[in-house]
Amino acid sequence: QVQLVESGGGLVQPGGSLRLSCAASGSIFSINTMGWYRQAPGEQRELVATITSGGSTNYADSVKGRFTLSRDNTKNTVYLQMNSLKPEDTAVYYCNYQRFGGYREYWGQGTQVTVSS
């Protein structure tokens, strides 16, 4: 019903920047929350940031001041601008979508982000 296509991952040096994009298609509801989660090797998936259709954001403490989440409702796309990247940011990043008040959520396929010298 909802498809999420991610792009923008890659290899970057510490202190560098990347921008991830997630484009949603299918049965998109106007009121929803989208965001990014990440999972490092051997670790559990954790919240990075979320944003509502109204623009309210929520960030993990570890990324506050470095990452910025935004969305273009016309394009049904969210963007995660990642600055001052650290090796600890290395993970597979997954896009997430959930309709407001909905019980069902959707996930992207994941995109690898590697921060290393």
pLDDT mean over 10-28: 97
The whole-angstrom separation of Cα 109 and Cα 98 is: 16
Mean local confidence (pLDDT), 8-25: 98
Q: Is the predicted pLDDT of residue 102 greater than 90, yes or no?
A: no
**pLDDT per position as a tens digit, 20-30:** 999 999 999 88
Cβ neighbors of 30 (< 8 A, separation 6 or more) are 53, 73
Please compute the mean of the pLDDT values over residues 88-106 and round it to a whole number. Answer: 94
Residue 65 phi/psi, 5° resolution? 85, -10
Residue-wise pLDDT tens digits, 29-59: 889 999 999 999 999 999 999 999 999 999 9
pLDDT of residue 103: 85
Cα 114–chain centre separation? 15
The strand pair at 77-82 and 32-39 is best described as: unpaired
Measured distance CA(50)–CA(59) in Å, rounded: 7
Cβ proximity of 67 and 84 under 8 Å:
no
CB-CB contact of 113 with 90 (8 Å): yes
